[in-house]
Amino acid sequence: MADAFAGVTPEATRLDQAWIRANPLPQPEGEVDKNSRGRVLVVGGSVQVPGGVRLTAEAALRTGAGKVRIATVQPAALALGVAIPEVAVLSLPCDVQGEIEAGDGIEGEQLARCDAVVVGPAMASAEQASRLVGAMLEDTRWSGGLVVDAAALMGLAPHADALRRRSTPAILTPHVGEMAALLECDAEAIAGDRTGAVREAAQRYGAVTVLKGGSSLIAAPTGELFVFEGGNVGLATGGSGDVLAGIAGALLARACDPLMAALWAVWLHGEAGRRCAEAIGPLGFLARELLSVIPPAMRSAGED
Ligand SMILES: NC(=O)C1=CN([C@@H]2O[C@H](COP(=O)(O)OP(=O)(O)OC[C@H]3O[C@@H](n4cnc5c(N)ncnc54)[C@H](OP(=O)(O)O)[C@@H]3O)[C@@H](O)[C@H]2O)[C@@H](O)CC1
Ligand SMILES: Nc1ncnc2c1ncn2[C@@H]1O[C@H](COP(=O)(O)OP(=O)(O)O)[C@@H](O)[C@H]1O
């Protein structure tokens, strides 16, 4: 078997069932209503990829978020709202390319009414995503958590200082290509030193960073490093990353510490993939099929 630790410094902690069992998620306590279970806003989607945000929103709901809203391009908004009756949809203006037109950003009131924002899934324009994120980071009425994914990672570099200074509980979920954009270098440099890259990104952005792949590395700005080897190749499919971002958003919204939220999200996503591979086959399960096995994966987390 190939050594999944190749190129990974030995101080990386293995993220496995034993770690998960020893580090349970905080459970909602006392009088619990849907607002206290965590409110997530998913900002993303485009005319070309209108359904990716559906995966993110449903993943957040399946992870236990009490309230989920989607802010997406106007041509997709109504259909999404009908397809997912459990969410509210905010319709945003769309540019000629079919991307969110990020003129005024998301209104402060919308941000103030959520505990975590997931930004970027299924957007293609790094420029529009960058403007959106910039406006959010300037908004002083909002103090929630932030998950940055997909095109929003491609456009995040100009906002590194703003994100770090703001001390927002934040999680970045790049694959190798998106990590190259974050660190403003080429993908070969990332592949040659994945550990150095994930640590550098976590420090530069002041955010927990998940470098996704066959084995995923998770680094905190404090230097802590974890490695997850429990995924399977079936997870390498369109929309799989959108599901991971939604899980992470829901955990941040329930007031998990961002490192804990990222670690649990990576583990739950991998465990959902394992369950799909077992039930359907190692290749060919769909990203949307991960969704319904998130709750049983959470329930079984403490079992052998
Ligand atoms: N398209 C779809 O079917 C679906 C898309 N969805 C949504 O759209 C989002 C974008 O997906 P995507 O497929 O458009 O772009 P993605 O591959 O993330 O590339 C982005 C950039 O990274 C680069 N890059 C990537 N991997 C690399 C590597 N290993 N090493 C080096 N570079 C690498 C890549 O370079 P390129 O491959 O173009 O050379 C490009 O510059 C996705 O996150 C999801 O939210 C889903 O909702 C539904 C199905
Ligand atoms: N060979 C693999 N084995 C296990 N997991 C993988 C493998 N390749 C990719 N993954 C996982 O699948 C997900 C793919 O995410 P991403 O590339 O962002 O997909 P998309 O952008 O289409 O949603 C990540 O969580 C990644 O860690």
Q: Residue 58's pLDDT is what?
A: 98
Q: pLDDT tens string for the chain (304 positions)?
A: 334 444 455 689 999 999 999 999 887 776 778 888 899 999 999 999 999 999 999 999 999 999 999 999 999 999 999 999 999 999 999 999 999 987 766 777 778 889 999 999 999 899 999 999 999 998 888 889 999 999 999 999 999 999 999 888 999 999 999 999 999 999 999 999 999 999 999 999 999 999 999 999 999 999 999 999 998 999 999 999 999 999 999 999 998 899 999 999 999 999 999 999 999 999 999 999 999 999 999 998 876 5
Global confidence as pTM: 0.96
155 belongs to a structural domain? yes
Q: Which residues line ligand 1 (CB under 6 A)?
A: 49, 52, 121-122, 150, 175-178, 187, 238-239, 241-242
Q: Residue 304's pLDDT is what?
A: 58
- Select from 148, 212, 267, 290 the residue to mutate for testing ligand 2; criterion: most ligand atoms less than 8 Å from CB: 212
CATH number at residue 45: 3.40.1190.20
ipTM reported for the complex, 2 dp: 0.97
| CA of residue 175 to ligand 1 center, whole Å | 9
Q: Residue 139's pLDDT is what?
A: 86
165 belongs to a structural domain? yes
Q: Residue 170's pLDDT is what?
A: 97
In the annotated binding site for (6S)-NADPHX, the residues are 175, 242
Q: Residue 2's pLDDT is what?
A: 39
7 belongs to a structural domain? no
Is residue 243 exposed (0-12), middle (13-18) or buried (19+ Cβ within 10 Å)? buried
Count of structural domains within the chain: 1
For tokens 């929003």, the residue is 152
Q: Residue 103's pLDDT is what?
A: 74
21 belongs to a structural domain? no
Residue 79 near residue 50 (C-beta atoms within 8 A): yes
Enclosing domain of residue 133: 34-299
Q: Residue 127's pLDDT is what?
A: 94
Q: Residue 34's pLDDT is what?
A: 85
Residue 53 near residue 45 (C-beta atoms within 8 A): yes
Q: Residue 302's pLDDT is what?
A: 72
- Rounded CA separation 150/242 (Å): 8
- Rounded CA separation 209/175 (Å): 10
| CA of residue 162 to ligand 2 center, whole Å | 28
10 belongs to a structural domain? no
Which residue has the least CA distance to atom 23 on ligand 1? 177
29 belongs to a structural domain? no
- Closest to 13 measured CA to CA, from 230, 228, 232: 228
Q: At what angle do helices 240-253 and 52-62 cross, to 10 degrees?
A: 40
Q: At what angle do helices 176-183 and 194-205 cross, to 10 degrees?
A: 50
16 belongs to a structural domain? no
50 belongs to a structural domain? yes
Query: Encoding tokens for residue 34?
Result: 């849907």
